[in-house]
């Protein structure tokens, strides 16, 4: 079955990202940054037409 893999919005707010980075640096001080983002896996069955892809794109607009 065909599958689209689409990246989404950042999964961490700046506050959460900084808090996680601080905790990670306690374990491994060389860590320079951290980033997390949502990933969407969409089972399409067949190819999406333009209208279907437009609806999907609109559904996946969220976050900052």
**Structural domain includes residue 27:** yes
| pLDDT at 2 (0 to 100) | 83
| Domain extent at residue 24 | 3-59
Cβ-contact 43, 2 below 8 angstroms? yes
Nearest-angstrom CA–CA distance, 44 and 2: 6
Per-residue pLDDT, averaged over 5-10, amounts to: 91
Nearest-angstrom CA–CA distance, 49 and 63: 26
Per-residue pLDDT, averaged over 48-60, amounts to: 89
What domain count does the chain have? Answer: 1
| pLDDT at 37 (0 to 100) | 95
**Structural domain includes residue 64:** no
**Structural domain includes residue 40:** yes
| pLDDT at 46 (0 to 100) | 81
Q: What percent of the chain has pLDDT over 90?
A: 61
- pLDDT tens-digit series, residues 24-53: 999 999 999 999 999 999 988 788 888 998
């Amino acid at each position: 079955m065909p599958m689209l893999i689409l990246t989404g919005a950042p999964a961490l707010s700046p506050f959460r990202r900084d808090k996680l980075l601080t905790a990670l640096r306690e374990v491994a001080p060389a860590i320079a940054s951290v980033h997390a983002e949502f990933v969407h896996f969409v089972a399409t069955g067949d190819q999406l037409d333009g209208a279907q892809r437009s609806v999907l794109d609109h559904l996946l607009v969220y976050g900052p």
